[in-house]
């Protein structure tokens, strides 16, 4: 897992979709998936180099705030290799491509 991992959590699907759209338009990142947490909370997940993921999550957070409720934003610059084994983020997406 050589790429940074960026996550934006929102309350409501519309805000998450708006954030995801803004992220992929703002920087060279790949939307690797999204997770439905429950009680209306959803998280969009992107990967890319550290600077791109930071720029993307900044843009996505601003977009989510404009249309809904932003809950949390987090960037993991260099996720540990074992994270992929524990949480196969993006694995299903990559295998379908």
pLDDT in tens, 34-88: 999 999 999 999 999 999 999 999 999 999 999 999 999 999 999 888 887 787 6
Helix (H/G/I), strand (E/B), else coil: 1: coil
Q: Which domains does the chain have, with CATH numbers?
A: 4-96 (3.30.70.1710)
CB neighbours (10 Å) of residue 11?
16
Per-residue pLDDT tens over the stretch 15-27: 999 999 999 999 9
Global pTM value? 0.86
Given a cut of 90, whether residue 5 has pLDDT beyond it is: yes
What distance separates the 2 farthest-apart alpha carbons in the chain? 36
Instruction: Starting at the earlier edge strand, list the strands of the sheet with 69-76.
Output: 30-38, 41-48, 4-11, 69-76
Residue 36 to residue 50: CA distance in whole angstroms: 25
């Amino acid at each position: 897992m050589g790429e940074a991992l960026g996550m934006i959590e929102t309350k409501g699907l519309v805000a998450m979709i708006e954030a995801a759209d803004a992220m992929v338009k703002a920087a060279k990142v790949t939307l690797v998936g999204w997770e439905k947490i429950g009680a209306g909370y959803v998280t969009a997940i992107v990967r890319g180099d550290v600077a791109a993921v930071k720029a993307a999550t900044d843009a996505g957070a601003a977009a989510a705030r404009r249309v809904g409720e932003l809950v949390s934003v987090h960037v993991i610059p260099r996720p540990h290799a074992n994270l992929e084994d524990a949480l196969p983020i993006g694995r299903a997406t990559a295998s379908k491509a």
